Structure 1
């Protein structure tokens, strides 16, 4: 039922003049899903208060609750056609009354970690793009069919929402910006093996895939106490996201996974000076796939000891600083980081090897990130001791990866098994840090059993690189046209 409802919603939005892409479909579905979820949450809280003999203070005034404007019902539970707005009246109410009211929660909230603040943040970032009130009424009726009651229902909804995020990422030029393959995320988490009580951070959280998967990993631990569950809800997962749409989707994704008031801030992570990060701010674990290819302004670069315009390199410095001594990290980064000869790349590799134990490098094949042709690696490291030896693994699923053949969990089983003991194989080997050139600090993936991995790209990889460059050029041209 849920899957059909999601498909129907997309079909309706596709017909609306205000929605033109998968991004719009996901955005517009998100705010309606959030309000439907909020209604279910408040009802549960009100019922719980009644059973305990307490009076419940509703967050939303009655006229702005889902039951009042979106889905008023008759006594027999059917939509009350006399009270349900539609057409221009519905659009006017949503645009001129509902959204301004919800945006005001940000200033009325007691703090940024409250649900009230999240409401204000979300609706401060969004606009209603559905221009036909009749289409909006149809979408609302489909959303109203969804239920958040049982854990099974929430699980199915979160799964379908993940599918929407994946489709949105694949539809854009930079798919990796919104969607990191979940099998890769799960493998990264298994290597780090977080424990309940440890803090987990992603400063470029996007759709919050890393935080959601880490929550599922910890939630699956047997016999969690009430204290454990409270710790997972309130004191485990932390994120920051610069872009408004990604922030909203990330919050919604975490809510659907079961975290009621996610600790995600809408902020530019790179705008923070590294010297301002104190020990109390540091986290036990960092999991991230920071954006790469961006060119940060000079004033942003001043926040970092190693100056560079490359966004991913600034994020890497931030993540190293955000780790507690003894903290663990798994970071996705462009594979050229291992071999670039510019001063920033060389200095950053030197810093990484000197301050952290870079124990594992996972070399991902082309096509791992659908819609992004560049090759990537995953860096696994621990903070507080220099690197002595690094274990490399070349992931080779034995097929070309793409939209019709995406990465799956089985593809990573050998990596996970061999990584436990840093075992030697045809795809894996170890390199002593002492053997690294102390001038260039080159860490290129060079399989001693099969020659240099990067010596010659395959035709598919060359075409993917060309496609990625074309996409970057198109983005730049688009920005230039917008300025003109």
Structure 2
């Protein structure tokens, strides 16, 4: 982040603290900044000769001219009407509501945005400002953006070893605020001299994201837009003429590569060369039913799809199956998944065995705790390539890098940094996986070794955990509690599987 963008982030964020005391949470504040910033940018782009997708009655100039109660009323009506618009506008403003009810507070936010020349900034600066706000929201909220925010050093490391290329279709079915898509975009522009068609493809077609949460979809669409993706000029394409840039802008201004849907419900209709994702962690999906007698029961939410190997209510296992089904043959994926996916029985074992057979599952990165905003999360990154049908398993050797054992990170005092992932990037050796070499933290396990383990358990570790001998430095209580809860959830899932099998045998 440049000094200029850091200064603007600080300025905008300082006012977030003021509004917090007025009852406006950090997440709500960034939402309102999203709406207002889009209106301001649309007006500025009009002055530069581009089409304005906002109807005249709801443009920035109209809003900024109002004061007092009329300002609040006009802003509320603006959000309501733009939420019904098609394309990018409708995605950003869908279900938008005014959370800054005090007209004087709203006017101060509008003035703060009005004081900056946003369209005059480089695309990277605008994007860095918005990313900075999202990160601050994630780190400052008890809930909200934090659950969708993957540490950026981890994202960059994953993208560095996956090496996205021009012309590829790259997806994220649980895109959150768009971190993986933006990192893939930046990698491609940094490592390649793109032709005009390649740049147009990257800006309009290459990146596809989806999320189930409307507010997050708005944040992601705006985040990509401020980086020049899915609308506006092809800013980085200096080789394009002014007329070409104008044509690109008019063709894509109303569109967004981000959709709102339940990704697990059905196929997306697109086959991807590369999928990068951190699907949501948490409890099993389900819903509550109130019967005619007033009794309340909970139904598990399961997904039965022809492309899935097993039916389960475990969201992470379903996302793993979904991602495999969305890849082209020869396509690759890197997916952040919790520990239970590596060792859970029942459907988990079925899915792991099928994955090892049908894909080349070549690498697991065991992540340390203390790097996510939810405390005590134990997660891994699975790297695999989808293959064509074969009578023999595609996985030959699985390499595991242990970045967890005897590693201690916290969000505030010792956050995960790029330097902590340098060794993993080096030993991963993306250009030639066959020439990898073992080290203390990087070990190879054959397919036969893995499938011989109980339930094809992939939760493999070998380093001596020093914390087990040091009772004075036990993990924090929240982390210990999270471990206990995770273990209990796995046990309950296995009991449910036994119960289901007994019930089905009674029917027969």
TM-score class normalised by the smaller sequence: 0.7 to 0.9
Q: Which residue pairs with 1:135 in the alignment?
A: 105
Q: Shift in Å at residue 244 of structure 1?
A: 1.2
Q: 2:60 aligns with which of 51, 55, 66?
A: 66
Tell me: CA distance 1:229–1:394, structure 2 relative to 1, closer, same or farther (3 Å).
same
Offset at residue 120 of structure 1 (A): 1.5
Query: Offset at 1:453?
Result: 10
Equivalent residues of 1:197, 1:236 under 8 A apart? yes
- 1:376 equivalent in alignment to 2:379: yes
Match of 1:389 among 393, 397, 414: 397
Partner of 2:331: 327
Give me the whole-angstrom Cα distance separating, in 1, the residues matched to 2:480 and 2:101.
Answer: 39
- Distance in 1, matches of 2:468 and 2:460, equals 10
With 193-202 and 258-267 compared, the bigger mean Cα shift is at 258-267
- 1:398 is displaced (CA, Å) by 5.0
Displacement of 1:174 in angstroms is 7.4
Please state how far the C-alpha of 1:258 moved relative to its aligned partner. 1.7
**Partner residue, 2:445:** 431
Does residue 233 of structure 1 match 2:222? no
After TM superposition, give the deviation of residue 285 of structure 1 in Å: 0.3
Q: CA separation of 1:440/1:130 partners in 2, compared to 1, >3 Å: closer, same or farther?
A: same
CA drift of 1:202 comes to: 0.4
Q: Per-residue deviation at 1:13?
A: 2.4
Deviation at 1:176, TM superposition (A): 5.4
Residue 407 of structure 1, CA deviation: 0.7
Q: Structure 1: where are the runs of 5+ without partners?
A: 47-56, 71-83, 107-116, 474-484
Q: Does 1:412 align with 2:421?
A: yes
**Residues in 1 aligned to 2:105 and 2:181: alpha-carbon distance in whole angstroms:** 34
Secondary structure at 2:285 match in 1: coil
Identify the residue that residue 303 of structure 2 maps to in structure 1.
Answer: 301
In the TM superposition, what is the alpha-carbon distance from 1:39 to its structure 2 partner? 2.1
* Residues 174 and 371 in structure 1, CA contact (< 8 A), matched pair in contact too: no
Root-mean-square deviation (CA, aligned residues, Å) is: 2.7
Compared CA separation, residues 163 and 467, structure 1 to 2 (3 A): farther
**Which whole-Å CA distance do the structure 1 matches of 2:480 and 2:322 have between them?**
28
Contact 2:334 2:384 in 1 (8 A): yes
For the pair 1:365 / 2:368, whether they are aligned, the reply is yes
* Alignment counterpart, residue 10 of structure 1, candidates 12, 16, 20: 16
What are the superposed Cα offsets for residues 250-280 of structure 1, whole Å, 9 maximum, x if unpaired?
Answer: 11111112212431101111121xxx565xx
Partner residue of 2:81?
101
What does the per-residue CA deviation read over 1:31-71, in whole Å, with 9 as the maximum and x for residues that have no partner?
1122222223333343xxxxxxxxxx54333332212322x
| 3-state SS in 2 of match to 1:232 | helix
Aligned to 1:422: 436
Report the CA distance shift for 1:149/1:221 in structure 2 as closer, same or farther (over 3 A). farther
Cα distance change of structure 1 residues 122 and 33 upon mapping to structure 2, 3 Å threshold: same
Aligned to 1:40: 44
Change (3 A) 1:63 1:5: farther
Report what 2:170 is aligned to.
200
1:287 to 2:276 alignment: yes
2:73 aligns to what?
Answer: 92
The change in CA–CA distance for 1:38 and 1:175 in structure 2 (over 3 A counts) is closer
Paired with 1:333 and 1:461, the residues of 2 have a C-alpha distance of 22
Q: How does 1:117-196 map to 2 (within 5 A)?
A: 117-150=87-120, 152=122, 154-170=123-139, 171-173=141-143, 177-196=147-166
SS at match of 2:360: strand
Distance 1:399 1:455, change over 3 A: closer
Residues 31, 143 of structure 1: CA spacing in aligned structure 2 closer, same or farther, 3 A cutoff?
same
Cα distance in structure 2, aligned partners of 1:411 and 1:299: 38
Instruction: Provide the C-alpha distance between the structure 2 equivalents of 1:277 and 1:35, rounded to a whole number of angstroms.
Output: 30
Within a 5 Å distance, the mapping from 1:335-374 to structure 2 comes to 335-340=339-344, 342-374=345-377
CA offset at residue 470 of structure 1?
8.5
1:199: Cα distance to partner? Answer: 0.6
Classify the secondary structure of the residue corresponding to 2:226: helix
Q: Distance in 1 between matches of 2:377 and 2:181?
A: 24
Contact in 2 for aligned 1:282/1:324 (Cα 8 Å): yes
Aligned match of 1:266: 260
Q: Contact (CA 8 Å) 2:362, 2:384: kept in 1 or not?
A: yes
**Partner-residue secondary structure (3-state), 1:60:** coil
Q: Which residue number in structure 1 is paired with residue 4 of structure 2?
A: none
Contact (CA 8 Å) 2:171, 2:209: kept in 1 or not? Answer: yes
State how far apart, in whole Å, the 2-side matches of 1:337 and 1:87 are: 54
